[in-house]
Amino acid sequence: MDVDTRLLRYFVAVAEEGSLTRAAERLYVSQPALTKRIRQLEAGLGVDLFTRSRTGMTLTEPGRTLAERAPALLAGWERALRETRSAASRAARVLRVGFIASAANEATQPIIAEFARRRPGWRAEMRQAAWSNPSAGLADADVDVALVRLPFPGQDALRVTVLFSEPRCVVLPEAHPFAAREVIAFRDLWDEPFVAAPPETGRWREYWLAADERDGHPVRVGAVTEQPDDWLSAIANGYGIALAPESAARFYTRPGVVHRPLTGVSPSSVGVAWAPADDGNPVVQDFVRCCRERRVAT
C-alpha cells in the first residue's frame, strides 16, 4: 500500500511517547484526530501496531518492526524532498518564505529589502499559510524559511530564533457589551464563545484560546475558521470573540470589529524558523541574519 508520510510521523510519535495524550501534545494535534490517523495506518497495513490499555499504548511485534525502520525512512524522505525543492529554488534564485498572518509586522518589508541588498538577483517569495498550517509550510518542506507565531507544531525539530514579543488583545463585535471598555480582563471573557482554529491544530488552537490560562474553566467555541477574512467575518457576525496579537489592530480589521487591550493573558512571540539541514545553506542563513539584525534594530 502507499502510506502517507504524515501517518508514519504520527506513528513514530506514539511509539516513542507510549501515550496518545503525550504524542498529541508533542505533535500539536487533537487526541481524537491522532487516534483516527493511527487506526487509518493500521487498517491500511492490515495489522495491529499497538496494544491499547489504560496505562498507554504498547507496541505489538509488527509495531516494533515498523518503529525500528520508520525514523530512518522518514529522515531519508524528508531530506530528499527538501534537497529537491531547495535545488529548484536555487535554480530560480528564489527563497521561499512562509508566513502566518502579518509575518514580522512592520519589520517584514525591511527584512525583505535587506535580503535583496545582500543577495542581488535573488527574490524572496512570500507564501502565506492558513492557520491550519501554523509552521507556514516549513514542516512539509514547502518553504525554505518561515516567519511564524510561537508555539507551533513541530517546533522542537526545527531551528527557531525569537524576534520579538507583543501583548495579545481581544477582538470583539462592535456591538458587544465589552466593546466600550478601554481594557478588558481575560477572566471576564471565559464564558464567551470564541472563534477558533481547526481542532487538528491541537496545541496551536489551544494557545490562541488561552486554554491553559483559564484556571480549568472550559472553552466555548462559537465558530471555526482557517483564514483571516473568515475569522473577521465570524467575529463581526457575532459568532464569537477571539484573541489576537496586538498588531492585529493594524493589520486585520474591518467595519463592525473592534480590538481591545487585554490583561491576564501571556504575550505572543514571532520567530524565524528553518530546518537544521539548512544550517549550512548560505541563502537561508542570510535571510535569518536579516531577521536577527532587524530584531536588534527594534
Q: Which of 65-69, 85-89, 263-267 has the highest mean pLDDT?
A: 263-267
> Which CATH code is given to the segment(s) 93-165+269-297?
3.40.190.10
Mean pLDDT of the chain: 89
What band does 185 get if pLDDT is binned at 50, 70 and 90? very high
Pair 260, 189: CB distance under 8 Å: no
- The pLDDT value given to residue 54: 81
Summarize the confidence of residues 223-229 as an average pLDDT.
90
Question: Is pLDDT above 60 for 298?
Answer: no
Closest CA to 237 of 218, 254, 261, 219: 254
The two beta strands, 242-245 and 168-173, are antiparallel
- Indicate if the pLDDT at residue 77 is higher than 80: no
Q: Would you state the pLDDT for residue 210?
A: 96
Q: Which residue has the higher pLDDT, 279 or 296?
A: 279
- 91 pLDDT tier (thresholds 50, 70, 90): low
Q: For residue 33, what pLDDT is reported?
A: 86
pLDDT more than 70, % of the chain? 95
Rounded mean pLDDT, 196-220: 90
Residues 261 and 188: beta-carbon distance below 8 Å = no
Q: What is the pLDDT at residue 243?
A: 97
pLDDT of residue 75: 77
Q: Is there a contact between 158 and 138 (Cβ–Cβ < 8 Å)? A: yes
Using CA of residue 236, residue 239, residue 244, residue 246, what is the dihedral sign?
A: positive
The answer on pLDDT for 255 being more than 80 is yes
* Domains 93-165+269-297 and 168-266 are alike in CATH topology: yes
- What are the Cα distances from residue 60, in Å, to 66, 109, 143, 155? 10, 53, 37, 29
31-45 and 5-17 helices, crossing angle to 10°: 110
Please report the pLDDT score of residue 86 as a whole number.
67
Task: Classify 5-77 by CATH class.
Answer: mainly alpha
- What residues have CB less than 8 Å from 258, skipping those under 6 apart? 171, 172, 173, 174, 176, 179
Which of these CATH numbers, 3.20.20.210, 3.40.50.1400, 3.40.190.290, 3.40.50.1970, describes 168-266?
3.40.190.290
Q: What pLDDT sits at residue 295?
A: 73
Say if CB 105 and CB 270 are below 8 A apart: yes
pLDDT band of 118, cuts 50, 70, 90: very high
Q: Which of 25-39, 82-96, 119-133, 206-220 has the lowest mean pLDDT?
A: 82-96
Domain ranges for the chain, please list them: 5-77, 93-165+269-297, 168-266
| Predicted pLDDT of residue 94 | 92
Reported as a single tens digit per residue, the pLDDT across 154-182 is 788 899 999 999 999 999 999 999 999 99
Mean pLDDT for 130-153 is 88
% of the chain beyond a pLDDT of 90: 63
pLDDT for residue 92 is more than 70: no
CB 104 within 8 A of CB 111: yes
Per-residue pLDDT for 103 more than 70? yes
pLDDT level of residue 283 (50, 70, 90 thresholds): very high
- Assign 55 a pLDDT band (cuts: 50, 70, 90): confident
